[in-house]
Amino acid sequence: MTPERLWPVVLVALFIMPIQSLNCVLLDNATLESVRLLRSIIRSPLKCLKEIKNFEFPKEILPYIQHVERDMKEAFYIVSIQALSIFFSQNSHVSPVIAERLQHIRMGLYEQMHQAQDCFMDEEEENKEGDHKPKHPRPKFLQKVYLELSKYFIRINKFLGDKKYSVCAWKIVAAEIRRCFIIFYNFKKLLKIQSGMFSELRFLPSFLLHLKYACAVHDVAVSSARLVLHVMFVVSEACLTLAH
């Protein structure tokens, strides 16, 4: 293989890991954006104080998912999907102002869901490449984790329906989902601090951050870039095979 054709391979090999880590960095940014959007709908909750309900967030599942990074990413991916599904409920009983803010929240949650998926899928691919062991059945504690999370969001959905999707109900639900995101974000940050990963992500090259903003405009563009990289990797392997 000539040195000229080796150049793309070098680029792919050099940046493939940062690109994979970039998805999780983008997930953090998307999460913070969702938190900000949910905060915007909660301005004057005085009249809604008497309708506040304790949705009993399952904090007991956190110790189960802190040891394996994959489990953490998967759990947050599930949370993002559930939250998005809640805000895609009907909202005809709200004012246009509230409706517009709910629309912004949906967009933010949609972005967050995609980033969580990418971050989780990258983790899955790493596990597939590095570990050729046969798949084992998922541990029971993980099933319990996912079950508790599902119950949690069902309670939220039920509350919203019982309150007939009122403004106060939306405010209370928005406050609760925001709290859920903050808990996961702080918990993941704490794990990164403990594992030293947080410091690595802090020093991400600036041009990769620019790449983040360029690719985040369109989901298709991001997927296409990843597809191109995969193609280049395959081509380089083919060239090496032909050369030998």
Partner 1 sequence: MRCESRERTYRLTRMLPSHAFSIVRLLSLCLVVCVSLQFTSSSVFEDYPKESCDVNLTLRNFRLILSWELKNKSIPLTHYTFWFTIMSKPEDPKALENCTNITEPSCDVTEEWTGPSEIYVPLIVIYRGNSTVSLCEGSVVATDTRVEPPEFEVVGFTDHINVTMKFPPVTPKIFGESIWEMLGYKSLVIREQAGQSIKLHKPTMKSITGNFTYVLRDLLPKTNYCVSVYFEAETLETSIKSPFKCTALQPDQESGSSEYDKVGIVTGCVIAVLFFSIVVMLKRIGYICLKHNFPNALNFHNFLSWIFPEVPPSEGVDKLEIIPSSKKKKVWNYDYGDGSDSDEDVPKASATGYTTHGLMGRLLSQASDPANHPLESQLEEDSAAEESDATEPGTEPELPTEAVVGLGLRPSEDPSGPYERRESVLQDSFPGDDSSSVNGTGDKVIFNVNLNSVFLRVLHDDSEGGSEVSSLAEDPVHLDEAPHRTESGLPMAGEDRTQSPHPSVSSQGLWTEDGSSEKTDTSDSDADTGDGYIMR
Per CB under 8 A, residues contacting partner 1 are 32, 35-36, 39, 42-47, 49-50, 52-54, 172, 175-176, 178-179, 182-183, 186, 189, 193, 198, 202
* Distance of alpha carbon 36 from alpha carbon 15, whole angstroms: 31
184: its two tokens: 């996961």
Give every CB contact of residue 223 below 8 A, 6+ residues apart in sequence.
none
* Distance in Å, CB of 116 to partner 1, minimum: 18
Q: How far is the CB of 129 from partner 1 (least distance, A)?
A: 32
Instruction: Report the 10 Å Cβ neighbour count for 135.
Output: 8
Nearest distance from C-beta of residue 108 to partner 1, angstroms: 15
Between 39 and 138, name the residue whose CB sits nearer to partner 1.
39
Cβ proximity to partner 1: between 110 and 198 the closer is: 198
The one-character DSSP state at 134 is P
Query: How many CB atoms are located within 10 Å of the residue 188 CB?
Result: 23
Which is nearest to 127 in space by CA: 43, 71, 60? 71
The least distance separating partner 1 from the CB of residue 175, rounded to whole angstroms, comes to 5
Cα diameter, the chain = 75
- Cβ closer to partner 1: 37 or 222? 37
Nearer to partner 1, 47 or 138 (CB): 47
CB of 183 to partner 1, least distance (A): 5
Q: How many Å apart are CA 28 and CA 73, to the nearest integer?
A: 11
Q: What is the 3-state composition of the chain as percent helix, strand, coil, each rounded to the nearest 5?
A: 80, 0, 20
Smallest gap, in angstroms, from Cβ of residue 52 to partner 1?
5
Distance CA 110, CA 114 (A): 6
Residue type, 150: S
Nearer to partner 1 by Cβ, of 123 and 176: the residue is 176
Residue closer to partner 1 by CB (options 49, 243) is 49
